[in-house]
Each structure stands twice: as structure tokens, then as C-alpha cells.
Structure 1
Amino acid sequence: VGFYKTKARHLAQLPEVLRDRFQGRIPQNIDDLCTLPGVGRKTANLVMIAAFDKHGMCVDTHVHRISNRLGLISTDSPHASEMALREILPKRYWKTWNRYLVSLGQTICRPINPRCSACSLYDLCERRGVERSR
């Protein structure tokens, strides 16, 4: 949890913004959520999933890196990855894609020296951008 001062300031601003712009209600679409202080696409998608049980695609650094490494997409930013994944993944996988890839990214498919030999996706992976692995 970095940037705690900025996050605290955004949280302090949130009630006033919600009151003044959204009649005290949390918006239920990604575009409006992204106008809130400190809310980006990943957080907006998470709110859609967790608070409203709607479809969302949370793309963080793990999802971006692994989806590209697998060869599913070819993008240069998490936002571009989100848009590309929305095009190719059926909606039923959107909510869980982040959870699976974050776990994989924290344990096996690390940014530097991934443990490719221990990965259950080894035979399916194009290993894009992998120069060395274990």
C-alpha cells in the first residue's frame, strides 16, 4: 500500500464528490467510477465486480504481463490489455481472470526469472519477453 498520503487525500474527497455529483450514490458504470478521486480502471472494474456483481475485467501488472507472455494478446499497457482481453475472453471468465493470473504471477510467472519449468501452462505458453527462466 504505497502512496498512502495521496490515497488518504482521495478518500477524504470522496464523500463530497459522491454527494455533489452522484446524489450520494456510488456510480454503477466504469466511466463514472473513473471520474472519482483516485479511481482508475482497475479499481473501477473491481467495484463493478465486488459491489454490484457486474462484469468487469481487473487488469494489473500480473494480468498484463502474463496475458502477453502467454501470447493471448500483444499490448503495451494494462488499459490496452483490458480492452484486448475483453475482445477475446468470454464474459464468464472476466471476474476470475485477475485472481488466477495474480496468483500465478506472484508464485511462478514472475517478471524476472520466471519458474517456467514449474508452470502448468508451459506447453501452451509462447514465453514472449522471457530471456531467462528456471
Structure 2
Amino acid sequence: MNAAKRLEIFRRLHEDNPDPKTELAYASPFELLIAVILSAQATDVSVNKATARLYPVANTPQAILDLGVEGLSEYIKTIGLYNSKAKNVIETCRLLLERHGGEVPQTREELEALPGVGRKTANVVLNTAFRQLAMAVDTHIFRVSNRTNLAPGKNVVEVELKLLKVVPKAYLLDAHHWLILHGRYVCQARKPRCGSCRIEDLCEYKAKTSDD
């Protein structure tokens, strides 16, 4: 895909949604970090339902640590893999207090040293909470990047690095949100909704669907 097409893709995505946001509900970097940890292999909707109950009771590292694994599990048991997630969150809260004064660190290395925080989670927090240039590639973004030929790659890291290189600089900070929303609602896994896609004429996918 050439640079002119890429520029027009993001121009249109920006035009339709000038201020894109994550669909995870949060009111602080810490709340976002915990929500992203909980969102692994779970929907944002299911995470928001759980945190809507949890955060009014405990929304700081100390408060969640005080709940303990069992206490936290009661709030998040509707989310998949909640047992392992509860253990990771409790340990993350302990480390935030011990190493970072209860604050969420602002570097990838420090974030990835926390239990349950991988490269994608770190990138989401860096980009969304701290507005750093980071590209969190999930299954939606991986699919859209490959299917459209925007930034094809064999794995998520390859796609991430390519996106950072080819997305026009003016749009890079919000590109993660535009691409994830496009993959979630338009360029869906089972059957892309090409008939109602704003960038269909720019997309290089060979097997486009005729209806939406």
C-alpha cells in the first residue's frame, strides 16, 4: 500500500471520529491499567461491568491489595480467567506500592515487569493514559493491518513496528483507537462489512463482501 492511500485512510477515520477513545471505563491511569489486565481474552463490556462494581469500593493499589485475591475475585468472577487475573492484579498492586510509590510507571520496561502486563497492555497504558507514541496490536488491529494491506506482518510485533513506521505522523497518536474500532465494528473477523466501510475503495483486500 502506498503512502497516499494510508494518508487518506487515516484522514477519513479521523474525519468520522476526531477524538477516539478506548471503550474501557476508567478515571485514572491505575484504573486503566487494571482494566486492561482484566480485558485479556475478555470483552470490554464484561470488564466495564466488573469494574463498575469494583472501583467504587477499591480503585487504588492499596485498596485492591487490601481485598486480597479472594475478595477481588468476588468482583471479577464474571470475567474469563478471573482466578489468575486476580492473582496478577494483587501482585501488581503490591509491586506498584513497593517500587513506584503507588503510581503507574510510564516506561514500557517498568510496566512489563508487572504481573499480567505484556507488551500490548503496556502499549495501551502508555498511549491511552500517558499519550505516548505506542501501538498496541490486538487481534483486531492485526487483522485490519493484514487484511487491508496497511501494515502486513506475520506476528503482532512485526505489525506494531510497521504501523509505527508507516502511519502518517499526524495520526499516529490515535491510530490504535481508530484501527481497533474499525476491526471491532466494520472489518470483523468472520465477515467484513465492506458495503458499509468508509475505506473500502482504499483497502487492498481481495475477497471483499458485496453487502454490509
**Which TM bucket (shorter chain)?**
0.7 to 0.9
Q: In the alignment, is residue 34 of structure 1 matched against residue 112 of structure 2? A: yes
Conserved? CA contact 2:131–2:173, under 8 Å: no
The answer (yes or no) to whether the contact 2:146–2:152 under 8 Å persists in 1 is: yes
Could you tell me which amino acid in structure 2 is paired with residue 77 of structure 1? N
TM-score when normalising by structure 1 = 0.83
CA distance in 2, matches of 1:114, 1:89: 22
Cα distance between partner residues in 2 of 1:92 and 1:41 = 24
Q: Give the aligned partner of residue 143 of structure 2.
A: 65
Residue 9 of structure 1, CA deviation:
0.9
1:46 aligns with 2:124: yes
Larger radius of gyration: 2
Q: 1:42 to 1:95 in 2, by over 3 A?
A: farther
Query: Contact 1:55 / 1:91 at 8 angstroms: preserved in 2?
Result: no
Deviation at 1:6, TM superposition (A): 1.5
Note the residue ranges of structure 2 that are not aligned, 5 or more in a row: 1-41, 43-79
Which has the larger displacement, 13-22 or 114-123? Answer: 13-22
Task: List per-residue Cα deviations over 1:65-104 (Å, max 9, x = no partner).
Answer: 1011111222122222111111112444233222212222
Deviates more, 1:13-22 or 1:28-37: 13-22
Q: Which amino acid letter does the alignment assign opposite residue 146 of structure 2?
A: N
Aligned residues: 132
Give 1:47 shift. Answer: 1.4
Partner in structure 1 of residue 19 of structure 2: none
**Identity of counterpart residues, as a percentage?**
37
Q: Would the alpha carbon gap of residues 115 and 25 (structure 1) be closer, same or farther in structure 2, given more than 3 Å must change?
A: closer
Contact kept? 1:58, 1:95, Cα under 8 Å: no
Work out whether 1:96 is the aligned partner of 2:203: no
Q: Structure 1: which 5+ runs fail to align?
A: none
Q: Which has the higher contact order (CA 8 A, sep 6+)?
A: 2
